[in-house]
């Protein structure tokens, strides 16, 4: 499976995301912001960093990059897309996810290992986890506070689209402790903490982040096998009566 990792001017964690994809067992494909060609990847990661220097708003310029035009269309067709930190901001700016990421409530940059509680294992990026599982993943942001109007927040909760919440302390004042959300189809996920920094015991506080990358590989494998299984079922249904008839004739 091929996971594309986009590099924007100012991207910081694209190399880490590519490494995480490789550790999970995928082929990491580097994608360039100025090239709309996704190179036949099976999933895409928008990494953390400071795309275009965070000018105007975080992610506000990156959403107009040529590669994003292709990603928006592909996401509408079911392509799994994970936005991490700045990538989450870009997904909101591109209207693939609702709400916005704003300045931390306390106005300070936060860099620490953060506990999350998984709220949904029904997305393309969380199927390897179980609901209510606690994860320990680094967070590092200055504009990580998730905000939305009350109607949107209620809808996210009611439809199971809150993917993860902060526990044991909210690092940025996100409304309803939201750390990650998904679109309606579950193929697009935005997360403020950095799972790509929790994939190796040597450098991370845990291996909990690896599950996001293995989840999408599992999702892709299941999606690839579904047509074959359906075709097998149709063939068995079509040949069943004929086989039964033939067996009866040979008695």
Judge: domain 2-247, CATH 3.40.50.880: yes
- Could you say which of 58, 143, 196, 219 is catalytic? 196
Quick one: pLDDT at residue 234?
52
pLDDT tens-digit readout, 92-139: 999 999 999 999 999 999 999 999 999 999 999 999 999 999 999 999
Stretch 10-14: mean pLDDT: 97
Q: Is the pLDDT of residue 2 over 80?
A: yes
pLDDT tens-digit readout, 170-224: 999 999 999 999 999 999 999 999 999 999 999 999 999 999 999 999 999 999 9
Q: Identify any residues that bridge with 59 across adjacent strands, giving them in sequence order.
A: none
Q: Are 42 and 65 in contact (CB under 8 A)?
A: no
d(CA 8, CA 29): 14
Res. 38 pLDDT band, cuts 50 70 90: very high
- Could you say which of 85, 92, 143, 219 is catalytic? 85
Instruction: Write out the two tokens for 31.
Output: 């994608």
Domain ranges of the chain: 2-247
- Could you say which of 33, 93, 143, 194 is catalytic? 194
Q: Annotated catalytic, 92?
A: no
Is the entire prediction scored with pTM above 0.85? yes
């Amino acid at each position: 499976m091929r996971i594309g990792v986009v590099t924007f001017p100012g991207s910081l964690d694209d190399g880490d995301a590519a490494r995480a994809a490789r550790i999970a067992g995928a082929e990491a494909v580097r994608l360039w912001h100025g090239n709309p060609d996704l190179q036949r990847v099976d999933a895409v990661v928008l990494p953390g960093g400071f795309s275009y220097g965070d000018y105007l708003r975080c992610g506000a310029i990156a959403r107009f990059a040529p590669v994003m035009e292709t990603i928006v269309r592909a996401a509408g067709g079911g392509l799994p897309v994970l936005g991490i930190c700045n990538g989450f901001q870009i997904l909101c700016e591109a209207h693939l996810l609702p709400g916005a990421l704003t300045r931390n409530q306390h106005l300070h940059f936060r860099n620490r290992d953060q506990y999350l509680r998984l709220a949904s294992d029904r997305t393309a990026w969380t199927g390897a986890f179980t609901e209510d599982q606690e994860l320990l993943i680094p967070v590092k942001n200055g504009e990580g506070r998730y905000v939305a109007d009350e109607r949107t927040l209620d809808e996210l909760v009611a439809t199971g689209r809150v993917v993860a919440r902060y526990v044991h302390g909210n690092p940025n004042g996100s409304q309803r402790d939201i750390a990650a959300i998904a679109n309606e189809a579950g193929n697009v996920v935005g997360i403020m903490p950095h799972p790509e920094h929790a994939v190796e015991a040597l450098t991370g506080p845990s291996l909990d982040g690896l599950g996001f990358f293995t989840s999408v590989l599992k999702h892709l494998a299941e999606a690839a096998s579904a047509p074959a299984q359906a075709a097998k079922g149709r063939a068995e249904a079509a040949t069943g009566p004929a086989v039964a008839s033939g067996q009866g004739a040979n008695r």
